[in-house]
Structure 1
């Protein structure tokens, strides 16, 4: 049986050219067994008609807060109460702004304000609109409310611009919905009683008060690993470099900036940790000297670098009972470099990925990894969401820890 069978999904469609994709999304969700209730904004009606969604969902379509279709209930409250999940796709800058500021002036926004169910937002707009500080601030605020976002794609937009802002494809949204309900099913509490330490995100190594060396890591993989451990019953500490991600509920978060700060935070908590998973993309080098004041432009500048502390190697070489997992982001000879890192840094497991592969780079919502273990096992995984990858990693960690415990008894 599909994980969507019988799930009540409210789909809000706002006024953008991408509204046509919402029809395909409605069809796919309905075919997967979901009961889809569509709400169209007034502007959405300029792009697509209610009859399309009625035919695809086999349900009434809502467009007006005051057009009550069932006298016994108030429609927007009834929909909000019934929803297992609310999706807004496409979500325009206007709708995102209204939601972030609690404005409820139509059927969609009043329903969302009344909804207790989780909400997924799939933005779609011009790249410049998407990158505007007001829109970014509104999305960050909604993320703090607990709203989930489906990142828009990059490419040629309807307006002619090329960039980020294209609505996620219906197949991607359906996959995210399936993953959401699968992830919210009863999880095995196989990490109950365990203390887990995860590092995530990039680090910043200061050149002067306004400049630094860093990388493209978004922290998404590490945050997914931390959330998966939490849901399996672990007590989780997440040491995070600078990211734009909201703190995961139920996880202790320690925010740091530099490699040195991350090293100190990890070593301070290492003794109490049962499992350490280091996903953070730390800087390998840092400026040998840091200017106290902003460096002025005056011809060529030579920046002398020194090796930064190797957190993973320090942990691997000083571990006692801890199960230590590292990550290897490579661009060539993936398995060769990953195996070398696994041995050289005395790890129990390493997760390797080629960041040049489609769907596996930094900042994406998906990853393509290969899990390598100390005893020589090599497990390649196909492209999947970072949360799915996190679950696979924990499955492997738990299996290896169980095997270790059995061998110690024998």
Structure 2
């Protein structure tokens, strides 16, 4: 069999549009093996994400078949399976998108060592972020610790060109493509469906509201944010393509994409971000209260805006970003509980849960991360009254309070006792050694 062959190992880049590794391989080689390895090490962390992933794989296989190729599925250690497939098809090398988590770095090191041993080329490509994590460095440092100067440099940086999907993908003859995994049950009944085409439709439907993003993104009841985060997390959408769609690097929406890149470069430099405090000298004087943590995770703290956010998380596998700040702030700054168990709850339920953004944002709220004002706190009642002024968000997710009129829905403990007894809603959790002024 004449001609050159390459393997493209898919990980968190489940698309064909603006996929540098795939586009380069298809342009330079006669045959390309698009490969995904179902890694048992990453399985079962989140039923929601597992279901979303399997939907993405089915969609990617359909797309590749439409281009004349296929998605080859294997199960096991991704390094061993990638090498095995490369040797079976006589490939010259393997390409994949670079990632930043501790696990991704370990996988990359092992893959490089095995490629060297088997005389295979290994090439890493961009694509998971807009600007590669190591591309921007401050003077005298390996990464930016504060967002504002990073955003300033990031906004002026040269971005790579967005790439079209390959016109054709040619698979070597006789390659067993493998079966897609059975679609598992997720835990969130109203979770969105995964896949590149679904993400592209969502982007197309939402993008006419881009010019209003600064006015709508904090409106909890309005629910007009893009909801693109799961598709970015799994690479169904290219973050570069999404930013280019906005066509304005200074827009508030693109600023949010910059925050995503910011946490990726932080994680690349500090891979312990999910387990250890990032900020030097951070005080971690947490208390431990299993009952309070359970009440928070189940959305029954007696603080309506917090319970609404946690119940949305359970139902949809997603939570409005403002609600994420409020719920995380309540756990750490009001209840005084460690951010790591909270991070674990989010990691289990969120479709978009990833190491850099999930961990970085939790540490920011807890005061252990990149916030330049680590001791700030978010008053949940004031936040609710500002971002859910009519109580629509709370009433949607906390039906016990659906009949409570006006702003009283945010402070049901102030209602007359005879009214409170009819609500079947718990009183606020007691917080030892705290002074919750909003309960007075």
TM-score range for the pair, normalised by the shorter chain length: under 0.3
Q: Which has the higher strand share?
A: 1
Q: TM-score, normalised by structure 1?
A: 0.25
Q: Which has the higher helix share?
A: 2
Q: TM-score, normalised by structure 2?
A: 0.24
Which structure has the higher relative contact order (CA within 8 Å, separation 6+)?
Answer: 2
